Chains A and B, each alone.
Chain A
Amino acid sequence: MTKGWQLTLVLILLGLFALFYQGLWGDPRHIPTVLIGTDAPMVEGPDVETGDMISLEQFKGKVVLLNFWASWCYECKVEHESVLQLHQLFKDDPNFVMLGVNYQDKLPDAQQYLKEYGTTFPHMRDLHGQIAIDYGVYGVPETFVIDQEGKIRYKYVGPVTGHMYTTITQNIIAPLLKDQPINTKS
């Protein structure tokens, strides 16, 4: 066996080791989602504050930002200000809707959270985890952008802050509202 072959073999083995290491210890939240380009599940749930039913169906034809959160989630608190700011930025556009999805939470805790941190958009409760499973959610916070056709165009796992805020507002939502192509590279 020549040196070249030996080196190739070692590189292949190292590559395989790296793959297995990534598979065993890598964060599944970084796995690319299979949902992009698919129809957004038309979910519904009671409003956290009023108890009235909210259905995604009623917002068909609009750009919808769906943000999964929970009162026990630290990263949700981190992104809360940015999320409110994002709503502030687009709330006057009649083709934009923002919805919070309260995930695995107790109603009094969720209500207290919204009272304490404030909110300017509605939030629906995910009563049995069905909404989260329909959207392939791993944990909170997770944010989805749905286009006017009802297709999932973007998903981000983690707090929408810093450059992610810029990506979602400038590269995703703004172009979608203008019927322009989006840039999913962050």
Chain B
Amino acid sequence: MRMSIRFTLILLLILTSPWPLLAEVQDETALDIQVREIAKTLRCTVCQTENIWESGAPLAQQMRGVVRERLKLGHSPEDIQEYFLSRYGDYIMMEPPKHGVNWLIWVGPFILLLGGGLLLYKEVNGWVRGTPSPPAAAPPPLDEQARQRLERELES
């Protein structure tokens, strides 16, 4: 009886332990993680909107291979990014380097937002000012003659 309880407990422990999860984590080596992190910063020149980690294009796959090989040779992530920059220019970086005309990409959206907001404010302000304002005081009461004329017109 005691043996069967012990067996059941061991079985439960095995079944409930996160082995598959652990296996998945152990599958990715430190090198894989480094490749992934660098590959995510480089643009796929075929797919344009994807980085070379996510892209399925053969060129992206080969670029990942180059990243891996260079890491194995002891190159730093900065050296690898520098190599790709020297071949393709700033376009290869998913995040454009902050220099020269690239600053437009960084500050452009804020300029668009501010400029657009300013224009919108001016436009709406102009509309509001153009709307006739309601009379400040109540109109004077009708005199008897006018009241009778109105009643006649309404009856006819």
Contact = CB atoms under 8 A, between A and B. Distances in A.
Interface stretch (B18-26, B113-121, B131-139): B113-121
- Of the listed residues A104, A134, A136, the one surrounded by the most CB atoms of chain B closer than 10 A to its CB is A136
Interface stretch (A46-54, A125-133, A163-171): A125-133
Q: Which of B45, B91, B116 has the most CB of A within 10 A?
A: B45
B46 interface: yes
Nearest to B105: A23
27 contacts: A6-B119, A9-B115, A12-B115, A13-B112, A13-B116, A20-B108, A28-B91, A34-B86, A34-B87, A34-B89, A35-B87, A38-B86, A104-B58, A104-B59, A128-B62, A128-B65, A129-B59, A129-B63, A130-B66, A132-B59, A133-B84, A133-B87, A136-B87, A136-B88, A136-B89, A138-B45, A138-B46
Contacts of A1: 118, 122
Nearest to A12: B115
A1 B59 CA distance: 52
B88 A34 contact: yes
B124 interface: no
Size class of B's contact patch? 20 to 34
Interface in A84-124: 104
Nearest to B88: A136
Interface of B: 45-46, 48, 58-59, 62-63, 65-66, 84-89, 91, 104-105, 108, 111-112, 115-116, 118-119, 122
A19 B88 contact: no
A83 to B, nearest CB: 22
Quick one: which of A6, A16, A31, A132 has the most chain B CB within 10 A? A16
A132 B84 CA distance: 12
Query: Across chains A and B, which 8 residue pairs bring their CB atoms closest together, nearest first?
Result: A129-B62, A136-B87, A34-B89, A136-B88, A138-B45, A16-B108, A13-B115, A9-B115
Nearest to B63: A133
Contacts of A6: 119, 122
A127 B28 CA distance: 27
Q: Interface range on chain A: under 10, 10 to 19, 20 to 34, or 35 or more?
A: 20 to 34
Given A16-B108, A19-B104, A104-B59, A135 B46 contact: no
A35 B115 CA distance: 38
A32 B101 CA distance: 14
Contacts of A129: 58-59, 62-63, 65-66
A33 interface: yes
Nearest to A41: B87
A20 B65 CA distance: 31
A10 B116 CA distance: 8
B88 to A, nearest CB: 5
